[in-house]
Amino acid sequence: MQDSDSSRRFMAHLMTYGFWLVLLAGMTVYFGGVLDKKHNPNQHLATQSNQAGEVVLKRNAYGHYVAPGLINNTPVVFMLDTGATSISIPKAVADRMHLNPRGSSQVSTANGSITVHNVRLDSVSLGSITLNDMRAHINPYMEGETVLLGMSFMQHLEMIQKGDTLRLKL
């Protein structure tokens, strides 16, 4: 009799633990998606059908415009930065893309002057906008995976900001 009671208790505990494990996994997946969307509301930019040469971005919860794009046909995540003179690529991202620097230069940042490595990019795409032979630099001090999309790209576009929306046109 005791064996069947302990078996039932064991199964009840196992079912309870299993329930909580499934619930926690489900919540992790759900809230992970919520946080991703909060950081990058433009995640599906590449699959949206926009007019050729026009992109509409929504500002994220932190006030930035973040969107997926391509550098030399390699997927990256951009943060639009009108305060950056050129496209700034973290060294870790540049290494994965096998970018070859061509010299160095000094740039001024909010944290002072730093040395970066110059590079030319065959193509840079944001949604339906693609520009070729773009000036950029590899920043060895930049952390993370996000590429700053600076004015070497943005200067070729018309920018119209209204509320939390930014419209970019070639």
CB-based contact 43:57 (threshold 8 Å): no
Global confidence as pTM? 0.75
Residue of 71, 149, 138, 72 whose CA lies nearest to 102: 138
Please report the pLDDT score of residue 7 as a whole number: 82
Please report the pLDDT score of residue 11 as a whole number: 81
Please report the pLDDT score of residue 1 as a whole number: 55
Q: Which positions of the chain have pLDDT values less than 70?
A: 1-2, 23-39, 46-51
CB-based contact 151:141 (threshold 8 Å): no
